[in-house]
Amino acid sequence: MYQTLLSDSSLYTILLKLDEDLAAEVRERGCTCGGCLHSARYRRKARGVPCELDEAYSTRYSFCCAEEGCRRRMTPPSFRFLGRKVFAGAVVVLVTMLRHGATPSRMAQLRELVGVSYRTVKRWRDWWGCVFVKSSFWRGARGLLRVPVDEQLLPLSLLGAFSAKEGRTKLVQLLRFILPVTTSCWCRHSENRL
């Protein structure tokens, strides 16, 4: 079921819309200095998304304060991107999750479907199992979950903590939960990258 989400264009379109909504909220709030925010998107090369959405995933929303002397950059959290990672956030979650108990043939399918190597997936698993679980975000956020999460099975066990019945909705709930780890502020404190 979750493997089909990897190529589901409607999922990636929903994530794009959610990112647009987050960007609109940040822009509407403006800068903390009171200045208005101008668009300052930056280029991304998100891998793993369906090819018809390559262009939509080629930039990340970001803003820059218009006030002289401030010029502060504000980049909203993202459903599409997991920090500075090359692969789309949904791909990182789904492929790592599918890797639990994956056979060599399933890894070959994943490699063909999204172009991810075994070494990359191993790095992602290490990130979930070491960097993520030791982060201040996880230490504070895991207490908000209604059910305990097996840290050895992240992100699969985290997905199980959400109540939606449909896989796509569960994935969106998980991505909403980990939004704080998608900003550069969190990435600077994280020693390892995906």
Q: How far apart are CA 174 and CA 176, in angstroms?
A: 5
| Residue 192: inside a domain | no
| Residue 157: inside a domain | yes
**Inter-CA distances, 47 with 76, 102, 137, 160, Å:** 20, 21, 26, 26
| Residue 193: inside a domain | no
Q: What pLDDT sits at residue 128? A: 94
CA angle 194, 22, 86 (to 5 degrees): 20
Give me the residue label for tokens 């939004």. 179
Confidence band, pLDDT 50/70/90 cuts, at residue 117: confident
| Residue 80: inside a domain | yes
| Residue 60: inside a domain | yes
Domain of residue 21: give its range.
2-184
The answer to whether the CB of 49 falls within 8 A of the CB of 6 is no
Q: Which distant-in-sequence residues (6+ apart) come within 8 Å of 66 by Cβ?
A: 31, 35, 36, 37, 38
pLDDT tens readout for residues 5-25:
988 999 999 999 999 999 999
Nearest to 7 by CA among 127, 78, 90: 90
Q: What pLDDT sits at residue 185? A: 55
How many other CB atoms are there within 10 angstroms of residue 13's CB atom? 14
Confidence band, pLDDT 50/70/90 cuts, at residue 193: very low
Q: What pLDDT sits at residue 102? A: 63
| Residue 190: inside a domain | no
Q: What pLDDT sits at residue 77? A: 94
Q: Which two tokens stand for residue 87?
A: 């692969």
How many other CB atoms are there within 10 angstroms of residue 135's CB atom? 16
- State if pTM tops 0.85: yes
Q: pLDDT > 90: what percent of the chain?
A: 65
The answer to whether the CB of 91 falls within 8 A of the CB of 116 is yes
Beta pairing partners, 88? 81
| Residue 97: inside a domain | yes
Count structural domains, the chain: 1
Tell me the torsion sign for CA atoms 94, 95, 98, 99. Answer: negative
**Inter-CA distances, 145 with 95, 131, 141, 187, 191, Å:** 23, 19, 7, 23, 25
